[in-house]
């Protein structure tokens, strides 16, 4: 009887310890955010088109696929065969140029699963047109290796709300105001970690609501242009002073700028304008900046 009670007590202690260890492991899961491309339609070797990689455990999700995205993925050594989910904020070309590259070359380099592309209404039609343009390439490669299966894709046209949930990661889309509609921002939750990506947006109360107290808020920024055309572009985006108001209202642990449209202004100009309104932690993003979101939030920049 005593031996049975002792075994039962040990079992309860072990179970409690195991549950505690699991809970601690879950709460300590870190999320890695890599700003693959932080640029704009303006051509730049230093700043590729908008593209952000979010990783947690075995999950690897790509948000937008701007010009040069595939090159940046190679630089951070992400095997294309393991990258199967892309989320588009909207259908402007500077956010989608790399989709045919990811689709075709990802297949050439070993991806066998379909490329899942999630985006606003019109995503399916856009992808069909893009892929039709590379049909000759795919056909020639299939003739060379007749036993190979052709590449596949799935286009999922989403609405605001939870759009993905797998492996402990949840992705929620929300509307943001831009010059094209619909346009989305995204919130990514992994256990107790949270990241919000603004997408292309003007000042947005919806964004503020979705970003309340997040660990990291990645936000676009425009520095007001002087010409009529530049002013039209400015009107569809967020000035540093307006972004600072968003930060002050949402109170993220870290705010970081990406998708920079500066019209010749410097990073210092953007930060000076931001600091007039917001005194919290805010940084300028650069291509290949890595943000580790764990018990602490660290930012590593390429050398």
CB 143 within 8 A of CB 109: no
Terminal C-alpha separation, the chain = 66
C-alpha span between 143 and 150 (Å, rounded): 11
Six-digit token string for 195: 């990241």
C-alpha span between 226 and 283 (Å, rounded): 25
Classify the phi-psi angles of 177: left when phi > 0, otherwise alpha if psi is within -120 to 50, otherwise beta: beta
Q: How many CB atoms lie within 10 A of CB 122?
A: 15
CB 187 within 8 A of CB 211: yes
C-alpha span between 257 and 216 (Å, rounded): 11
Q: Which positions are catalytic? A: 94
Burial (CB count <10 Å: 0-12, 13-18, 19+), residue 36: buried
CB 138 within 8 A of CB 147: no
How far, in Å, are 6, 11, 16, 35 from residue 2 at the CA level? Answer: 6, 14, 21, 60
C-alpha span between 43 and 20 (Å, rounded): 51
DSSP annotation of 150? P
């Amino acid at each position: 009887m005593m031996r049975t009670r002792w075994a039962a007590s040990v079992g309860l202690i072990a179970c409690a310890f195991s549950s505690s260890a699991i809970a601690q492991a879950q709460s300590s899961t870190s999320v890695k955010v890599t700003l693959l491309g932080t640029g704009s339609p303006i051509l730049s070797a230093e700043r590729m088109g908008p593209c952000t990689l979010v990783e947690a455990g075995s999950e690897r999700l790509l948000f937008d696929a701007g010009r040069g995205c595939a090159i940046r993925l190679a630089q951070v050594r992400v095997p294309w065969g393991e990258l199967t989910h892309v989320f588009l904020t909207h259908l402007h070309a500077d956010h989608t140029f790399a989709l045919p590259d990811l689709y075709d070359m990802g297949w050439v380099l070993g991806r066998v699963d379909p490329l899942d592309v999630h985006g606003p209404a019109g995503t399916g039609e856009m992808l069909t047109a893009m892929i039709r343009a590379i049909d000759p390439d795919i056909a020639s490669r299939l003739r060379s290796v007749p036993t190979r299966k052709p590449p596949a894709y799935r286009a999922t046209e989403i609405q605001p709300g939870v759009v993905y949930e797998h492996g402990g990661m949840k992705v929620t889309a929300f509307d943001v105001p831009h010059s094209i509609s619909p346009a989305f921002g995204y919130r990514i939750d992994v256990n107790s970690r949270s990241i919000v990506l603004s997408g292309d947006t003007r000042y947005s109360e919806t964004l503020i609501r979705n970003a309340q107290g997040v660990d990291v808020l990645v936000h676009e920024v425009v520095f007001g242009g002087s010409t009529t055309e530049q002013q039209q572009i400015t009107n569809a985006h967020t000035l540093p002073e307006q972004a600072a108001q968003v930060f002050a209202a949402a109170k993220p642990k870290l705010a970081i700028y990406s998708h920079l449209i500066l019209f010749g202004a410097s990073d210092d100009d953007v930060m000076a304008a931001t600091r007039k309104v917001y005194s919290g932690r805010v940084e300028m993003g650069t291509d290949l900046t890595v943000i580790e979101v764990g018990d602490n939030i660290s930012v590593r920049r390429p050398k």
